[in-house]
Amino acid sequence: MKISVITATWNSQQTVADTLRSLDAQLYQDTEYLVIDGASTDNTLDIVRSHGGRVDKLISEPDQGIYDALNKGIEAATGDIVGFLHSDDVYANNKVLAKIAEAFASTNVDAIYGDLDYVSKDENDRLVRHWKSHPFKRRKLRYGWMPPHPTFYMRTQLYRDLGGFDLRFKIAADYDSLLRYLWKNQITVGYIPEVLVKMRLGGASNRSIKNMIQKSREDCLAMNANGISPFIALPVKNLSKLPQFFKKS
């Protein structure tokens, strides 16, 4: 079972080397690694090219943002499974892809997800926030629940059938896509009850008050587009994040 891992980069010279090393350390070998770059102007491409043979495909050209880059990666992917490792994220350990492959093989589900750790921007070993996902229950989507998108792996054919990221969303296209897959199309999902990815703080959705407001607006649009009422889902979705700052395991 080949797993295609897609990394979108744009001026990512400060963190992409850690991401590349994390992928290189994976024990599972039946992988395809695609780097989709948005025409970086720093040393990102030099770092990627110097990494060696583990990068199977490198595309660098102007794009419309991260979701456009990820869509390009999905289109170019040849694996059975597609997942994403963002350019400031790392895997929690060297067995993550092996566990994901084993979970797909043993359960025959459409998608797999796990838990996520938010870590310090400067120290990826310093835990700031822990996202405990819990096993999937479709009804929880009505109350704003979602699995951590950086841990979400889905069969490639379903991306072909159900579509990738809607570029009308600038911050919440990942949430919209998850509602489309999990709520609207009711794909089957499995859960690995452990941390799969460490994500550095500082993403677009929480970079500023303005972005947080835009994120909430886009969340409402995604909910309405997929048949979820935002009147309950949006406030519960935002409030549900608070325990993540206190639960460390």
SS3 label, residue 171: coil
Integer Rg of the chain from CA = 17
Is residue 91's pLDDT more than 70? yes
For residue 122, the 8-state DSSP code is S
Counting residues of the chain whose pLDDT is more than 70, the rounded percentage is 93
Share the mean pLDDT of the chain.
92
Give domain 3-245's CATH architecture: Alpha-Beta Complex (3.90)
Answer whether residue 52 shows pLDDT above 70: no
pTM: 0.92
Backbone angles phi, psi at 60, to 5 degrees: -130, 115
What does the pLDDT look like over 100-147, one tens digit per residue? 999 999 999 999 999 999 999 888 788 998 999 999 999 999 999 999
Predicted local confidence at residue 132, as pLDDT: 92
State the helix-helix crossing angle for 209-225 and 230-239, rounded to 10 degrees.
Answer: 140
Three-class SS state of 186: coil
DSSP annotation of 19 reads H
Q: What is the mean pLDDT of residues 2-9?
A: 98
Of 52-61, 65-74, 162-171, give the lowest mean pLDDT range: 52-61
Across 30-39, 41-50, 203-212, least confident range? 203-212
pLDDT for 243 equals: 61
- Cα dihedral sign for 216, 222, 228, 229? positive
Q: Is 67 helix (H, G, I), strand (E, B) or coil?
A: helix
pLDDT given at position 59: 97
How many CB atoms are closer than 10 A to CB 69? 26
The per-residue pLDDT for 249 is: 45
d(CA 51, CA 70): 21
Average pLDDT of the residues in 162-189: 97
- For 187-235, the pLDDT digits (tens) are 999 999 999 999 998 655 455 577 778 989 999 999 999 999 999 898 8
The pLDDT value recorded for residue 51 is 81
What CA–CA distance (Å, rounded) separates 122 from 98?
28
SS3 31: strand
Q: Which amino acid is at 121?
A: K
In sequence order, the β-bridge partners of residue 111 are 154, 189
CB distance 33 to 5 below 8 Å: yes
